[in-house]
Amino acid sequence: MMPPEVRMGCVETAACLAVGSELLGQERVDTNSLTVTRFLAGFGVRMTEKRVVGDDVKTIAQAVAGLLKQADIVVVTGGLGPTADDVTREGVAAALGREVQRDADIEVWIRERYAKFRREMPASCVRMADVIPGARVLRNSRGTAPGLLFEIEDRLLAVLPGVPWEMELMLEHDLKPVLEKRNADRRRSTRTLLLSGVIESEVEERIRHLYDRFGRENVTILASAGLVRLLLSNSGPAGEIAPALDRMEAAFREVLGRDVAAVGSGDIAEVVLEMLREQGAMLATAESCTGGLVGKLLTDIPGSSDVYTGGVVSYSNAAKGALLGVPDELLAAHGAVSEPVALAMAKGVRQRLSADWGLAITGIAGPAGGTTDKPVGLVYWAVAGPEGDRCLSRVLPGSRSLIRRLSANIALDLLRRGLIRGGA
Amino acid sequence: MMPPEVRMGCVETAACLAVGSELLGQERVDTNSLTVTRFLAGFGVRMTEKRVVGDDVKTIAQAVAGLLKQADIVVVTGGLGPTADDVTREGVAAALGREVQRDADIEVWIRERYAKFRREMPASCVRMADVIPGARVLRNSRGTAPGLLFEIEDRLLAVLPGVPWEMELMLEHDLKPVLEKRNADRRRSTRTLLLSGVIESEVEERIRHLYDRFGRENVTILASAGLVRLLLSNSGPAGEIAPALDRMEAAFREVLGRDVAAVGSGDIAEVVLEMLREQGAMLATAESCTGGLVGKLLTDIPGSSDVYTGGVVSYSNAAKGALLGVPDELLAAHGAVSEPVALAMAKGVRQRLSADWGLAITGIAGPAGGTTDKPVGLVYWAVAGPEGDRCLSRVLPGSRSLIRRLSANIALDLLRRGLIRGGA
């Protein structure tokens, strides 16, 4: 087997250019490039640059010419529509030193598409029949504007519509066969391990010794609000990738053990719902500082009603008393953010809703409400299960929003670990 | 007054460069550029290009040099950390034909920051004290890596950390004063009207006649999950903008009346919390198909505990009975998704938590669970207040996620209209 470095040498590079002034405003970002990145990754092609420019011929031409010098594959999306704004065709033509030409066949095809939907073709739409000499024209069966595909020496330049639904079809239908031919023996595939209840830097320490064995460039760590995703990748001929990823997964699992919550793109809420389903157990939640976020995460997932009965958002002390039966004396003696109250909430909701598991969170999400004894970020989690209960506490860093997201994910991990043991 | 075209002529342009190989992967997109775009828009600066490149000195240098030729202001984010990957400093230095130099003062400051948090500074962290001659060094009070600010002839080059929380502070603290000075007589300002309980296309019909008066380019409609935001903009010298926006706002309000929920960037949850606060009233929620989402939206906002006591996630019929006192017979006779049950939930949670207002949602978010009589998307909302109760029902379009978000926003709007009347 060739060492990874040698294989990396022949990995193709790609760049994306998204065209559209709306992608330079205050609200939207280009996300087509993610689809393109995923698509190309399957052929071992690595994204090296992304750009977004407005609807301007000269800027588009400069960007296309620049990117063609840097990457093997350049994918341009957007600006192929019929309005005066849509000047990607003209920009690409300028980059290649060519001129757009009206294609009579495409014009007929566009007219027929309008006729088929019994709509009159606005005069401006004829512009979509402009093509660039040397391009293969990609028919758009989900829309109107055709795409263009150039093979210029060793490079590939694809010009696709910006509508995701239309672009995706052209990737599958037109680019896939071309890439399959180009990259037959250098596929790249990725498998994701979801870790929960861990800290990114500690994970890195524990797995560092595996980098040499599998290649540093084949391991990516992504951390977000208490969850860590480990992306294991491998390149090579199509038939060799899955067994290689199996070996990688086994090696990482040996080190990470129970911290691996799942394989795949799922979330921690999906993991616990699946575990509850396997055990035929019902869950109830009692949330204070997360205010419903855990319930929201669980019910984001279709079918969660099988195993999630609901719960209480006990944001006030009154709600903790009235709906969970937390005694006033306990609240007075220890405060709402305390181990005894967290445990009473978990046990209370479990009992009141006749659930197998009760999960509770109480904390100070800030920005106000902290004291020296109980600073902002102090959170108690409790889980009550068939074989007892367990409490955890930490002081979390960050903004109110981060503290709440961390709190929710840590809660779900506490439950996950309880479910592994079969009792809290 | 100059026509808009003439004023646009002197608008400054900006470009963003996000550095980080993780932003070229299959999962994440750069979103810092949105924050930068919003920030700069306040000074009439228009974003004209965005790029993302990996952690590579040569590529960074090429991108920075290229963008400095095209835009008046270039903002680079990311790649300022201590690891070997972080080479933005070196890339920017190369673009400017300069070399990085260790700054002894910054080194001391970084060591002190680690000491303050009682952590030992890893040896690699000293790299963060490397600066580029000619730069103003921006201290990072929310993290460690300093930023760099260059004024090169008429151009501005800002190099900021990629962590949003750190970057945002430097924009406010360091860039704002510089931009205020540069762009004193060409501000562009935007005022947002939040509309709720309306449909985008209807709003457009109602306001269309105002486009000519205020300029089509000064009015933007953004719709998202049942909320419509109307962005009213105006450009000109600092002193003239606010009165012009006041006139615009008055004209749009005259047409839109009570559909305007608020002015500003706030959300509908903030609007109802503020109305509750003004009326000294407490709210409780009972959520079925939204599973905690309304509670989450309310408690996203600091200080919500003043007026939000909490509530129940009554995902199962058992929870509706045990926690809200909804009679089994009612559930059996009408089904969980029905007007009588929605009303019983709202009244039940209001009474059990001794709240002034009870807000309830029950519906079928899908994808499964729909029938001919009760299709996916059917939702009932109820509000119970000091002077009675009210119920609303609709069949919502879209995915599970969209149905849930629409349901939550429509619920909050129903409460808002109840609060305007002072009773449901």
Domains of chain A (ranges, CATH numbers): 4-182 (3.40.980.10), 187-263 (3.30.70.2860), 268-421 (3.90.950.20)
Nearest-by-CA chain B residue for A316? B309
Residues of B in Cβ contact (< 8 Å) with A53: 48-49
Banded model confidence at residue B4, pLDDT cuts 50, 70, 90: very low
pLDDT at A264: 87
- Judged by a CB distance cut-off of 8 A, whether residue A49 touches chain B is yes
- Judged by a CB distance cut-off of 8 A, whether residue B367 touches chain A is yes
Average pLDDT over residues B14-40: 94
Residues in chain A: 424
Are the CB atoms for B95 and B60 separated by under 8 Å?
yes
For A176-194, write each residue's pLDDT tens digit.
999 988 876 777 788 999 9
Nearest of B88, B90, B91 to residue B65 by alpha carbon: B91
Interface test with B, best of A22, A313, A356, A407 (most B CBs within 10 A): A313
| CB crowding B103-133: b at 16 or more within 10 Å, else e | beebbebbeebeeeeeeebeeebebbbbbbe
Inter-residue long-range contacts of B327-336, CB under 8 Å, 24+ positions, other chains counted: B335/B374, B336/B288, B336/B362
Weakest mean pLDDT among A252-266, A298-312, B115-129, B345-359: B115-129
What is the C-alpha to C-alpha distance for residues B37 and B406, in angstroms, rounded to an integer?
Answer: 28
**How far is the alpha carbon of B23 from chain A, nearest alpha carbon, in Å?**
9
For B273-332, write each residue's pLDDT tens digit.
999 999 999 999 999 999 999 999 999 999 999 999 999 999 999 999 999 999 999 999
User: Phi and psi of B411, rounded to 5°?
Assistant: -60, -50
Q: Which residues of chain A have pLDDT under 70?
A: 1-10, 184, 423-424
SS3 category, B75: strand
For A339-351, write each residue's pLDDT tens digit.
999 999 999 999 9
Give yes or no for residue B64 having a pLDDT over 60.
yes
Residues of A in Cβ contact (< 8 Å) with B38: 26
- Please give the torsion angle defined by the CA atoms of residues A410, A414, A420 and A421, in that order, rounded to the nearest 10 degrees: 160
What is the C-alpha to C-alpha distance for residues B268 and B300, in angstroms, rounded to an integer?
Answer: 12
The sign of the torsion formed by the CA atoms of A164, A165, A167, A172 equals positive
What is the C-alpha to C-alpha distance for residues A412 and A415, in angstroms, rounded to an integer?
Answer: 5
Q: How, if at all, do strands B101-102 and A388-395 pair? A: unpaired
Q: How, if at all, do strands A219-224 and A227-236 pair? A: antiparallel
Nearest of B70, B267, B45 to residue A25 by alpha carbon: B45
Whether the bond into B367 is cis, omega within 30 of 0: yes
What is the C-alpha to C-alpha distance for residues B132 and B136, in angstroms, rounded to an integer?
Answer: 9
What is the C-alpha to C-alpha distance for residues B24 and A106, in angstroms, rounded to an integer?
Answer: 35
User: Phi and psi of B386, rounded to 5°?
Assistant: -60, -30
What is the C-alpha to C-alpha distance for residues B384 and B342, in angstroms, rounded to an integer?
Answer: 10
| CB crowding B270-300: b at 16 or more within 10 Å, else e | bbbbebbeeeebbbbbbbbbbbbbbbbbbbb
Tokens of B249: 């706002």
- Judged by a CB distance cut-off of 8 A, whether residue B305 touches chain A is yes
Tokens of B382: 């109820």
Average pLDDT over residues B135-158: 92
pLDDT at A423: 57
Are the CB atoms for A39 and A73 separated by under 8 Å?
no
* Subunit contact A305:B294, Cβ cutoff 8 A: no
* Subunit contact A295:B299, Cβ cutoff 8 A: no
* Subunit contact A368:B292, Cβ cutoff 8 A: no
Residues of B in Cβ contact (< 8 Å) with A351: none
Whether the bond into A367 is cis, omega within 30 of 0: yes
Residues in chain B: 424
What type of residue is B19? V
Chain mean pLDDT for chain B: 91
Average pLDDT over residues B217-236: 85
**How far is the alpha carbon of B52 from chain A, nearest alpha carbon, in Å?**
5
Better pLDDT: A360 or B189: A360
- Judged by a CB distance cut-off of 8 A, whether residue A73 touches chain B is no
**ipTM of the predicted structure?**
0.76
- Judged by a CB distance cut-off of 8 A, whether residue B313 touches chain A is yes
* Subunit contact A312:B316, Cβ cutoff 8 A: no
* Subunit contact A299:B311, Cβ cutoff 8 A: no
